[in-house]
């Protein structure tokens, strides 16, 4: 009968075990009966230690909706599917190709995949401990003996098949296999998390690179306008309308804009280098072509659905991995608990031994043996108690890590839901400011040409228009980054549903 699933008390031999431990030599039928009892015990093995129950998520994790999800459409939850190309929602074919390359050649993913294979192999290794082992040995000896004056010298040969089995009476092997399987599942979740992280990095770096392209296009148009302003100022100076200071101011404004454009070019190069590494290439063998047209629109901002918190728990691979590590830690409590109980070892061997190979098959030269051993540790200086406490503390730590991962997941979702909501309003406000700045620039430029406004007013209007253009692009970039982070926080693979 299986003992209580608890590791909090030491092993105390039951009457049946005490009787088995005091078996004395008896007839062959009696010995065979004892072995049969031991075999029956092996077949009725049980697993000590607590059965796993998923720890409770933090309070509020099962709420009906997110705090910042007002106005968002609720999406139907589903399991993580790495084959879903969530990045296609941005509508850029180059981006799709880059993510496909990263999925195949990224070295971080290759490392995570190898670690997952290693963890999977450990499951088989843990399960193998509960299987019988079979070995073979063969020896040849040169012997010389003197028996009653009769001297014998010759060779003896022996060959044996040996088998050993430690039945998993208390479930140590089954709990170890359970822990290894949960750890392998956690490693699989780590692989999914690494894949999602790499995909998000590729998407975000590419979007930022395209923002750099948009900034360069903006600077190109701005520089053309500044060059025309400089030419106009030079013309006005020759006619005596503009001063030398006006010319210097126009030249300074043009060069400052050129310097800013050069800085954007540096950012683009660095983003291109980062993408090269993500897709498994060196920067020297990788490049992303610039836009063929100066004002190509940025990749679209996808419609991101909201999800119920329970769906978040199902979809995020880091949360799934943390939960599986709790299960592994729980199984390790059972492994520690099994140390309190005795171990049973069954052994057997069969073979032949004799002075000549030809005699091996003869009955007098055949040998065999079967045996059983029941062993238990009576005193270990508190080792098992310490191991039991360690296993339980490891479970508590894993459970706390799981809850913290859940909380961090909710924070990440809430942060980016709020960011997308606020940035959308801020972008609308900034675009209105840009429209006004462009209007002011046109009016002041016409007034300067007519000689009714100083050149300082033109410079101020141009600077304000450029600043507003850059602010709009920065807000677009922040929106795109928030959308990538939100999709990653939701576990990836979500497709926005359109009414």
Each residue of 109-142: pLDDT tens digit?
A: 999 999 989 999 989 888 888 888 898 888 888 7
- Between 292 and 112, name the one with better pLDDT: 112
> Helices 244-278 and 455-489: crossing angle, nearest 10°?
10
* Residue whose C-alpha is closest to residue 102's, from 180, 204, 11: 204
* Residue whose C-alpha is closest to residue 479's, from 435, 419, 409, 414: 419
Categorise residue 372: left if φ over 0, alpha if ψ from -120 to 50, beta otherwise. beta
Among all chains, which residue has been given the structure tokens 């490891």? 394
- Between 34 and 483, name the one with better pLDDT: 483
Collect all residues with Cβ–Cβ distance below 8 Å to 301 and sequence separation of at least 6. 476, 479, 480, 483
Q: Percent of the chain having pLDDT more than 70?
A: 79
The Cα 200–Cα 263 span in angstroms is 25
Collect all residues with Cβ–Cβ distance below 8 Å to 180 and sequence separation of at least 6. 119, 122, 123, 125, 126, 127, 328
Give the model's confidence band at 344: pLDDT under 50 very low, under 70 low, under 90 confident, else very high.
Answer: confident
Per-residue model confidence as pLDDT tens digits over 401-453: 999 998 898 888 889 989 999 999 999 999 999 999 999 999 998 998 888 88
| pLDDT the model gives residue 52 | 81
Res. 236: pLDDT tops 70: yes
| pLDDT the model gives residue 443 | 95
Give the model's confidence band at 357: pLDDT under 50 very low, under 70 low, under 90 confident, else very high.
Answer: low
How do the domains of the chain map onto residue ranges? 57-130+171-341+383-489, 133-165+343-375
| pLDDT the model gives residue 79 | 45
Res. 250: pLDDT tops 80: yes
| pLDDT the model gives residue 306 | 61
Task: Give the mean model confidence (pLDDT) for residues 304-322.
Answer: 75
| pLDDT the model gives residue 21 | 32
Collect all residues with Cβ–Cβ distance below 8 Å to 321 and sequence separation of at least 6. 185, 186, 187, 189, 190, 193
With 0-12 / 13-18 / 19 or more C-beta atoms within 10 angstroms meaning exposed / middle / buried, residue 349 is middle
Lowest mean pLDDT among 160-174, 178-192, 457-471: 160-174
Give the model's confidence band at 83: pLDDT under 50 very low, under 70 low, under 90 confident, else very high.
Answer: low
Res. 66: pLDDT tops 80: no
Task: Give the mean model confidence (pLDDT) for residues 154-160.
Answer: 77
Give the model's confidence band at 12: pLDDT under 50 very low, under 70 low, under 90 confident, else very high.
Answer: very low
Res. 362: pLDDT tops 60: no
Quick one: CATH architecture of 133-165+343-375? Single Sheet (2.20)
Pair of tokens at residue 374: 């029941």
Give the model's confidence band at 264: pLDDT under 50 very low, under 70 low, under 90 confident, else very high.
Answer: very high
Give the model's confidence band at 251: pLDDT under 50 very low, under 70 low, under 90 confident, else very high.
Answer: very high
The Cα 279–Cα 485 span in angstroms is 20
**435-446 exposure pattern, b = at least 16 Cβ within 10 A, e = fewer:** eebeebbeebbe
Give the model's confidence band at 313: pLDDT under 50 very low, under 70 low, under 90 confident, else very high.
Answer: low
| pLDDT the model gives residue 10 | 33
Give the model's confidence band at 296: pLDDT under 50 very low, under 70 low, under 90 confident, else very high.
Answer: low
The residue length of the chain stands at: 499
| pLDDT the model gives residue 499 | 33
- Between 79 and 167, name the one with better pLDDT: 167
| pLDDT the model gives residue 382 | 92
State which fold the 57-130+171-341+383-489 domain adopts: Outer membrane efflux proteins (OEP) (1.20.1600)
Pair of tokens at residue 298: 């940025």
The Cα 55–Cα 202 span in angstroms is 34
| pLDDT the model gives residue 285 | 92
Q: What's the angle, vertex CA 203, arms to CA 200 and CA 205, rounded to 5?
A: 105
| pLDDT the model gives residue 302 | 86
Which H or E element spans position 436? Answer: helix 383-450
| pLDDT the model gives residue 26 | 40
Give the model's confidence band at 63: pLDDT under 50 very low, under 70 low, under 90 confident, else very high.
Answer: low
Per-residue model confidence as pLDDT tens digits over 188-235: 999 999 999 999 999 999 999 999 999 999 999 899 999 988 898 888
Per-residue model confidence as pLDDT tens digits over 377-402: 888 899 999 999 999 999 999 999 99
């Amino acid at each position: 009968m299986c003992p209580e699933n608890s590791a909090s008390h030491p092993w105390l031999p039951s009457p049946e075990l005490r009787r088995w431990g005091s078996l004395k030599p008896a007839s062959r039928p009696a010995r065979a009966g004892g072995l049969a009892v031991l075999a029956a015990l092996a077949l009725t093995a049980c697993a000590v230690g607590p059965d796993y129950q998923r720890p409770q998520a933090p309070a509020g994790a099962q709420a009906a909706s997110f705090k910042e999800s007002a106005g968002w459409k609720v999406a139907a939850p589903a399991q993580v599917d790495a084959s879903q190309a969530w990045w296609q929602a941005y509508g850029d074919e180059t981006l799709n190709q880059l993510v496909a390359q990263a999925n195949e050649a990224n070295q971080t993913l290759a490392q995570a995949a190898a670690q997952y294979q290693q963890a999977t192999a450990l499951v088989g290794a843990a399960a193998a401990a509960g299987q019988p082992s079979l070995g073979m040995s063969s020896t040849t000896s040169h012997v010389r003996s003197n028996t009653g004056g009769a001297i014998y010298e010759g060779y003896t040969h022996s060959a044996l098949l040996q088998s050993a089995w430690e039945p998993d009476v208390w479930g140590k092997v089954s709990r170890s296999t359970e822990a290894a399987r949960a750890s392998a599942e956690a490693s699989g979740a780590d692989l999914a998390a690494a894949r999602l992280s790499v995909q998000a990095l590729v998407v975000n770096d590419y979007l930022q690179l395209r923002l750099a392209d948009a900034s360069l296009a903006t600077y190109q148009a701005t520089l053309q306008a500044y060059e025309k302003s400089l030419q106009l100022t030079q013309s006005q100076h020759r006619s005596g309308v503009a001063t030398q200071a006006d010319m210097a101011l126009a030249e300074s404004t043009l060069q400052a804009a050129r310097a800013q454009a050069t800085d954007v070019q540096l950012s683009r190069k660095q983003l291109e280098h980062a993408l090269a590494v993500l897709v498994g290439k060196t920067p020297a063998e990788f490049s992303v072509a610039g836009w063929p047209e100066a004002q190509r629109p940025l990749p679209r901002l996808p419609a991101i659905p909201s999800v119920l918190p329970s769906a978040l728990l199902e979809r995020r691979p880091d949360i799934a991995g943390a939960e599986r590590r709790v299960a592994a830690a729980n199984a390790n409590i059972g492994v520690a608990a099994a140390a309190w109980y005795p171990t049973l070892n069954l052994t057997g061997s069969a073979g032949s031994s004799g002075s000549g190979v030809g005699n091996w098959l003869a009955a007098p030269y055949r040998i065999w043996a079967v045996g059983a051993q029941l062993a238990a540790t009576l005193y270990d200086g508190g080792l098992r108690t310490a191991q039991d406490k360690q296993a339980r503390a490891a479970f508590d730590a894993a459970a706390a890590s799981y809850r913290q991962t859940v909380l961090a997941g909710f924070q990440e979702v809430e942060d980016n839901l709020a960011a997308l909501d606020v940035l959308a309003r801020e972008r609308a406000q900034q675009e209105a400011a840009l429209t006004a700045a462009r209007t002011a620039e046109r009016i002041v430029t016409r007034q300067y040409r007519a000689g009714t406004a100083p050149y300082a007013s033109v410079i101020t209007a141009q600077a304000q228009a450029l600043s507003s253009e850059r602010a709009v692009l920065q807000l677009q970039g922040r929106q795109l980054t928030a959308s990538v982070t939100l999709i990653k926080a939701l576990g990836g693979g979500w497709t926005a549903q359109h009414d």
